[in-house]
Amino acid sequence: MKNKYQTILVIPYLGIFVFLLLYVLAAVKYPGGSHTNPYDKGFSLWDNYFCDLLDAYAVNGAMNPARDWARLALLVLCMSLIYSWFHLPKLFSGKRAITTIMRFTGISALTITLFMTADNHDSIVRIAGVFGVVAMLTTFIELFRSKYYKLFGFGIFCLLILIVNYYIYETRVYVEALPVIQKITFITFIGWFMLMDFCLYRRLRSATKI
């Protein structure tokens, strides 16, 4: 049983680590160009979006050899988080309809995100976003009900940053700052997922000792 619960912790953490390695490799292979400066060389943390690495052509018009690595990175990340989200309802006591909704919408959002590798980025972001927000709201309810107040507060912070992202994305207000805000959002969400996964592991491990 102990080994089984260790996988709940190890698989998501390992997936995030592999994702980062693959994305660094993709960034190194990116030919160049950003929406701020199409003639830049290489990948810029300040000016490029993560999704630039997924496009068939770089912003500068060259073929993008980073695409396959970025696709693989996204696949590893989403599959790792899907595994984690499938088990997340075990963090809360009892079986309730809301945790079923949480599991379904969270897994759906991550599965839909995989289709960002196709050339329909905007539609995928909006559809995945709807499922993702429902997953977050149901998670907030359960976190608060179960007295995980710090995780609840961290999750609210993640949602606020996500709203800022969406507002800038749709209105183009301060859009020049969006690539950096996107990366801050990603880091905070990954941190939230990792903390919830760690709490889940501790809960399941403690339950086996009773």
Segment 30-87, tens digit of pLDDT: 999 998 889 889 999 999 999 999 999 999 999 999 999 999 999 999 999 999 999 9
The pTM assigned to this predicted structure is 0.90
Q: Rounded mean pLDDT of the chain?
A: 92
pLDDT of residue 5: 74
pLDDT of residue 54: 93
Domains in the chain, number: 1
pLDDT of residue 94: 78
Residue pair 87/40 in contact by the 8 Å Cβ criterion: no
Residues 164 and 182: their CA atoms lie apart, in Å, by 10
More confident: 45 or 140: 140
Supply φ then ψ for residue 148, to 5 degrees. -90, 70
pLDDT at 3 over 60: no
Residues 129 and 162: their CA atoms lie apart, in Å, by 9
Q: Smallest Cα–Cα separation from 19: which of 63, 67, 80?
A: 80
CB-CB neighbours of 46 under 10 Å = 12
- If you average pLDDT over residues 120-139, what whole number do you get? 91
pLDDT at 208 over 80: no
> Structural domain of residue 169, as residue ranges?
2-209
